[in-house]
Amino acid sequence: MPASKRYRHYKGGIYELVCEAVLEADRTPVMVYRGEDGAVWVRPRAAFFETVSVGGAAVPRFAAIPESSAAPAAQGDQ
C-alpha cells in the first residue's frame, strides 16, 4: 500500500486512504478512501493514481499529502 495516508483530490477535497482491496467480481484492485465528511468511497486503483487533464495540464487525480503537512495543527496554532 502507498506510504501516505492522506490525499488531495485535484478538485480540492482531502481524503484518507483506508485500505487497498480487491473487487470480488473481477479481482480488480481498488482503493477504499474516506472523505472529511465521513463518506467512504471505492475507486479502481488505476483510476485513483491516474493523471487527469485540468486546463491542458496533466495532474494526478489524487496527490499524496506529505505526513508533515497532514499533521493536525497544535493547540496554539488555531
What is the model's pLDDT at position 70? 46
Nearest Cα to 29, choosing from 46, 49, 51, 50? 46
What is the model's pLDDT at position 4? 65
pTM: 0.78
* Fold observed for domain 6-65: SH3 type barrels. (2.30.30)
What is the model's pLDDT at position 67? 82
Q: What is the pLDDT of residues 8-59, one digit of tens each?
A: 999 999 999 999 999 999 999 999 999 999 999 999 999 999 999 999 999 9
- Which residues, in sequence order, are CB contacts of 44 under 8 Å at separation 6+? 23, 28, 29, 30, 31
